[in-house]
Structures are given as C-alpha cells and as structure tokens.
Structure 1
C-alpha cells in the first residue's frame, strides 16, 4: 500500500482498542477478524495483534474499526468502498427535503468513504440550495445520531 492508503477516520480512534493496528497502519495493511481467538496474539514489538500463522497484523473488532472481517493484507481483499462513495441520489425539489436526502445518501455509505461522501453531499446540495440551508440540514442530520 502507498502513503495515500486510507487511514482510520478521524474521530474513530477512541472506538478501537489500544492494541489495534489501525492506530499505526493504513487500512488494508492488516486483516480484520470477527473476534479475538487463539489464531492471533499480541506482539509487544509492534504494539498490536498479529496472526500466529504468517505474522499479518490483525484487528479483532470489526465493528470498532468500521470494516467487515476480511483478509485485506494477507490475501489482498479490496477494502469496501475502495472506489469512493457512490453518487448521491437526485436532490429534493425543496430544502425541507434535505434532511431525508442526506439520511438516505449518507446512511448507506461505507465508513471508509464517509468523509468523501459527506463532502460530495455538501457540494451537490450547494448546487441547488443556499449555503445556510445546506449547513443547517447537515448539522441536524449529523447531530441526530441517526447515521450511527
């Protein structure tokens, strides 16, 4: 992976455990398994768990890191959303539809591309609606807890 590889989204650091490879490595440079097991062990020299067979860094909490279980580093499984977020749906006719539009679009976005989708939603909505209407809708939706 290159230096441009995606990292753990800012603000998620508190969700992962202190021994998570996502704190040190880009996403895709470690595997993610469903739960801790005998197949992985904490490697003090690295500060995170590794698979006993092969030494691949491994995260054991997919829900915390925001990735489904997968052999991203050991078998080259592509990261979900690696191509970027999908295009947003057509804009609503009126500003009072922005909240539902944002919930529909952002609610289906993979964690790994959420920031890019948020930026795309903002830019798209600004093509039709006033900046204050867009910002107000974004604040309502992001503060609602309905995207978790």
Structure 2
C-alpha cells in the first residue's frame, strides 16, 4: 500500500495529518470505504446522502454509485427512493429488473 503523501505531514502533537491549509485529512480513505473527497472541510454530502436524480433514466447509475459506499443501514432508504422515482415515472416499470440491471 502506498505511504501517506508528504503533502500532508504528520503532527505529533495531535496525532493527525494536515494539509498545508491546516485541514485534517484521512490518508487512507480506501480503508473506510469512501472515495477521497473533502467531505467535512467543504461540506460535501457523503456518497449515500447525494440527492436522488429527478429523471428515472438516471436512477440506475445513482443507485450503483450510492450503494457502492452506503453503510447497510442506508441501503433500504436508497432502494425506497429509487422505487418511488421509477414508479412515478412509469407505474408499470419492473423495478426489480431495473435495480438488478443497475447492480450487475
């Protein structure tokens, strides 16, 4: 595994690494299962908190992206939102087929 970047030096007084701007960083984001991003410092939503798309055609990509990082307790809510969007667009949609295709 790659070593932490020298761009984020370790501060022995706090036990954390910081950017040049003084923002604490996680040097191994893959260990916590999240793509690297400045969630706290820039107020970004966590991947599973990204609002669902308005268009039914965008639901499969959104479901896949969100469920790849969502903790187990968030998955049911994501699937429920996806189902509502798909059925609102077309009440005859086979939601199971759409979600199955999205997750394959």
TM-score tier, shorter chain, comes to 0.3 to 0.5
